[in-house]
Structure 1
Amino acid sequence: MSVRSLSATLALSAALVGVGVPTASARPATYELSGDAGGSKFEGIGYDARTQRYYVSETTGGEIHRGQLRSAAATEWLPGDGTDGRWTARGVTVDSRGRVYVAGGPNGIDHPGAPDLWVYDRDGRLLAALRTGVPNAFLNDLVIGPDGAAYVTNSNAPQVFRVAQEHGRWTIRTWADATATIATQTGFNLGGIVLSPDRRALVVPQGNVGKLWRFALSTGTVSAVDTGAADLVNADGLVQDGHRLWVVRNFSRVLTTLQLSSDGRTARLASATPTDPDRVLTTAKLAQGRLLLVDSKFDEPTAVPPYQVITMTPPRR
């Protein structure tokens, strides 16, 4: 850990009650990403519990980095800069078969005709490169549903896409379009995505207005999650563990803990934990009791090392 990061962490833990701090164990407290000499920025993270590997996306170039929980440094797993038509990457998730799904953010916007999403096997072999066919689609984050399909948010419109392999062929389609319910606002709209505790719905934040939305998996019907007085502006990545929902609020520099009902219809504020003021954390995954959080470098005009994934023992209340 850098001197800057260590001092900031110690100061926060001394000043705040209930703040999650890096755990002391054989596992590193931070993980180093290689990045590029000219400056790299990062956003998404996926985790494969079976192999204890994590995957991090680089927005500047589209590289995918891979690391292991007991090793301090990740390596570049997939090159970017146009590899498989990928110049940028956002959300990452891993399914039960170890297949890695990568959402392309504005890849298809900035490079018309280029893919919006990719699927790779655990050896890095490309299985699918897919285009939504939807104009101005910004594919942000993903979750694997109970049906084994991946569900992907669109940050430029209130839509969720579904990615699946059916009859030997990979497809992506608009699964839900909530235009009639969710008003598109300036900035980033739908971001992270998780399952409700009962696994019958998707829960998605609209970070620019600080709301959560529930998408019923059986019908695609959309309704607002009752979040009470919780401040969820800048909600980005979500992590769900039972009835706990951790909300990574990037530029607010807060990790908000909610108590989520089984059906995902209500969420009550449990705590709001300040994160390192020198980092903009975008999203996280829960791995062996710790949160792995991506330090995006989005606050730096030209990013400079160290490039890191940090760890935190998540607040439980």
Structure 2
Amino acid sequence: MAPSAGTRFRTRLNRLAVGGAAALCATILATGTALAAPTVRTADSLPGFRIYPESLTQDPTTGDLFVSGYGDGSVLRVPAGGTQASVFLPSGADGRTHAAGVKADKSGRLWVSGGTDRSVTVYDDTTGVRLARFHIPYTSGGVNDLAFGPDGTAYLTDSFNPAIYRVTPRQLTAAQGTEAPLDTWRDLTGSPADYTQHSGINLNGIVYIDGGALLTANTTTGAVYRIATDTGTVTAIPGISLPNADGLHYRDGKLWVALNRTNTLVRLTVSTAARSVTQDATFSSPELQIPTSVIRSGDRLLVTRSQYDKGGPFGAGTPAPFTIAEVNGF
């Protein structure tokens, strides 16, 4: 029997190089800065035993948090000021059994990437009503994460096909109430970010940088790329290597990156339009419990504790109750 899409996704995750941790340590010691004891505590509790939280976003208007469940495809919501999540979109909604990147835009919409179901679905983030759905132009693949440009255009990564997809505000309006194909904005074949020669998870997290650039990272190789939004030109960022890079978050010239397998957060300084990127500091702790997403909320960092190594895609075992961590001092 052919393996399911979910099984293939987990298999590909497990192909990540086990030597990544050793390589990462060398990189941190060479370029990072030792920090004086940031603190980690539990900020929010997540219901369910098979969620395996993957991505985290905050509605910029209401302050509500949304968390995607890689394990079952559900999306949870934590109301602003709350500490307990409840189910916003149930497991199996729109046929989704895995949920990857989740992002709230400035117009009250929630975008949910379905991983190997090869789609991204847009919802009203108050009512949960589905507004539109987009599918990639490939028979296999994995829509992973997304970022918004200043005009509301969404840019999406595919971890298995060398492409950056795009949904413009006009395309979103045209697709209201329907299903539509995702626009391949940048075919990465032949570019520095072409990963047809690699197995495992490739492009993962993505962010928009003020001034007209995207930054994205390859989980397997650790390479970080700048993509100009006006020309689509792809450039490898020199001197930066982030094996196991997962979620990225950018704010006010700073970039935070979650490195999942090594329980590490990295902070970088990014210039306008990402013309230069320098690594400032790293923080590692087993209390991060395989971080897969990080966001800045006020003056604190919030991190999804995926526990992928406890019965999830990284290994056997039984997870503790799932939570979101708060990291202060980083």
Fold shared per TM-score above 0.5: yes
The code of the aligned residue for 1:73 comes to Q
Q: Displacement of 1:135 after TM fit?
A: 2.8
Correspondence for 2:120: 117
Q: CA offsets, 1:120-169, max 9 Å, x none?
A: 01211000122112232211111111221211101112311112342731
Q: With structure 1 as the length reference, what TM-score do the two structures score?
A: 0.84
Kindly report which structure 2 residues correspond to 1:7-22, keeping only aligned pairs within 5 A, or say none. Answer: 17-22=35-40
CA distance in 2, matches of 1:314, 1:119: 34
Question: Over aligned residue pairs, what C-alpha RMSD do you find?
Answer: 1.8
Alignment of 1:1-317 (within 5 A): 17-22=35-40, 29-36=42-49, 39-81=50-92, 83-108=93-118, 116-122=119-125, 123-166=127-170, 168-170=173-175, 171=180, 172-181=182-191, 182-184=193-195, 185-198=198-211, 200-226=212-238, 228=239, 230-276=240-286, 279-301=289-311, 302-313=317-328, 315=330
With structure 2 as the length reference, what TM-score do the two structures score? 0.81
Shift of 1:192: 0.5
Matches of 1:207 and 1:314, distance apart in 2: 26
Inter-partner Cα distance in structure 2 for 1:153 and 1:18: 35
Deviation at 1:245, TM superposition (A): 1.0
Answer whether contact 2:35 2:282 (CA < 8 A) is retained: no
Question: 2:288, 2:325 within 8 Å by CA — same for their partners in 1?
Answer: no
> Cα 1:265–1:135, aligned 2, differ >3 Å: closer, same or farther?
farther
State the alpha-carbon separation in 2 of the partners of residues 128 and 314 from structure 1: 39
Q: Which has the higher helix share?
A: 2
Q: 1:104 to 1:212 in 2, by over 3 A?
A: same
Q: Which 5+ residue runs of structure 1 have no aligned equivalent? A: 1-15, 24-28, 109-115
Q: Distance in 1 between matches of 2:130 and 2:254?
A: 34
Runs of 4+ in structure 1 over 6 Å off: none
Q: CA deviation at 1:313?
A: 2.2
Question: In the aligned structure 2, how far is the partner of 1:263 from the partner of 1:195?
Answer: 9
What does residue 111 of structure 1 align with? none
Alignment partners' CA distance in 1, 2:328 and 2:60 = 17
Query: Does the aligned pair in 1 maintain the 2:141–2:159 contact within 8 Å?
Result: yes
Partners of 1:225 and 1:267 within 8 A in 2: yes
Distance 1:314 1:214 in 2: 28
Answer whether contact 1:194 1:202 (CA < 8 A) is retained. Answer: yes
- Alpha-carbon deviations, 1:270-317, whole Å to 9, x = none? 1111133561000111111211111112111254331111111252xx
Q: Distance in 2 between matches of 1:121 and 1:99?
A: 5
Percent of aligned pairs with the same amino acid: 30
Give the deviation of 1:211 after TM superposition.
1.0
Alpha-carbon displacement from aligned partner over 1:207-231 (angstroms, at most 9, x marks no partner): 21111111111121211122x2x44
Once residues 146 and 194 of structure 1 are traced to their aligned partners in structure 2, the CA distance between those partners, rounded to angstroms, is: 12
Write the distance in 2 (CA, Å) between the matches of 1:165 and 1:76.
28
Letter in 1 for 2:162: P
Are the equivalent residues in 2 in contact too, given 1:225–1:264 (CA < 8 A)?
no
Q: How many residues align?
A: 282
